[in-house]
Amino acid sequence: MMERQDHSIGKISVLELVLIIFIAVMCLFVGYKGIEWMHANTAHGNDSMLANTAESEAKINSNNGLECVVQDCPSKSGGICTHQVGTDGTTLGYLDKETKHIVAEKPYGYNEYTEMDIADASYYGDKNTMVIQVTAHQGEIFVCWVPGRSAS
């Protein structure tokens, strides 16, 4: 029978040392990747939720893109739409962040982040300089970020 040798009590073997170092390096790598992932997600911010709000509001206002996107358009009460651009019936409006309605006059910028994403498109601008523009054309709603009204 083999007896336990006293000189190995409390010592770490080479294999244990290698495994401890490997586990520590793996933990650091996983932590680094987690922080990298968090930064990548927060860099895009939650301004994309405003784009969803703008698109939903435009669909409601315009009967899914068939009418004017602006909420208080005179055409909804029998008047003439003043928000058309061009001769093809395309209408244009902007999301007002305060009221969450589509308005005709471009508001002051309200983006919270410097990079905004809508679908596959990325838009860049300083904080509080960009607004969401909504257009409707032949039953289609289009949403993008554009520079807002300047404060000067």
Question: 124-135, pLDDT tens digit by residue?
Answer: 889 899 999 999
Q: What is the mean pLDDT of residues 1-7?
A: 57
Please state, rounded to an integer, the average pLDDT across all residues of the chain: 84
Nearest to 92 by CA among 130, 135, 51: 135
Question: 64-96, pLDDT tens digit by residue?
Answer: 667 888 888 887 777 888 888 877 888 899 999
How confident is the model at residue 6, as a pLDDT? Answer: 57
Separation CA 129–CA 108 (nearest Å): 7
Name the pTM for this structure. 0.67
Q: What is the 3-state secondary structure (H, E, C) of the chain?
A: CCCCCHHHCCCCCHHHHHHHHHHHHHHHHHHHHHHHHHHHHHHCCCHHHHHHHHHHHHHHHCCCCCCCCCCCCHHHHCCCCCCEECCCCEEEEEEECCCCEEECCCCECCCCCCEEEECCEEEECCCCCEEEEEEEECCEEEEEEEECECCC
Rounded to 10 degrees, the C-alpha dihedral 101/102/104/106 comes to: 80
Tokens 């586990």, residue located: 23
Model confidence at 106, pLDDT cuts 50, 70, 90, reads very high
Question: 14-41, pLDDT tens digit by residue?
Answer: 999 999 999 999 999 999 999 988 877 6
Tokens 């939650």, residue located: 46
Residues in the chain: 152
